[in-house]
Amino acid sequence: MSVPASKKSSSAARRRRSHMHLDPVNTGLCEQCKKPVLSHRACGSCGFYKGRQVVDQSRDVKRTMKKATHTQDHDHDHEASEA
């Protein structure tokens, strides 16, 4: 294995780390519901993008309600089996 020739100075280390940062996220406001939304994405709450409806929210609401009210329709015992 190779060994560094000498210790990196603090300024050299900081210069190397200068690119290790997070860029701010580009967000805007939805024109329809005024909620924050990522750029070039449809709004998650109302489904609008560039002033027109692109996601059918009623379908998503129905799917969520179906998942929330789903019951187990099988009939086996849920008790621990005795060994």
**At 69, is the pLDDT very low, low, confident or very high (cuts 50, 70, 90)?**
confident
SS3 11: helix
> pLDDT tens, 45-61?
888 898 888 888 777 77
DSSP string, 31-81: TTT--EEETTS--TTT-EETTEE-S-HHHHHHHHHHHHT---------SPP
> pLDDT tens, 13-48?
999 999 999 999 999 999 889 999 999 999 988 888
- pLDDT (0 to 100) of residue 53: 86
pLDDT over 70 (residue 63): yes
- pLDDT (0 to 100) of residue 36: 95
- pLDDT (0 to 100) of residue 27: 94
pLDDT over 80 (residue 73): no
* DSSP 8-state secondary structure symbol assigned to residue 5: S
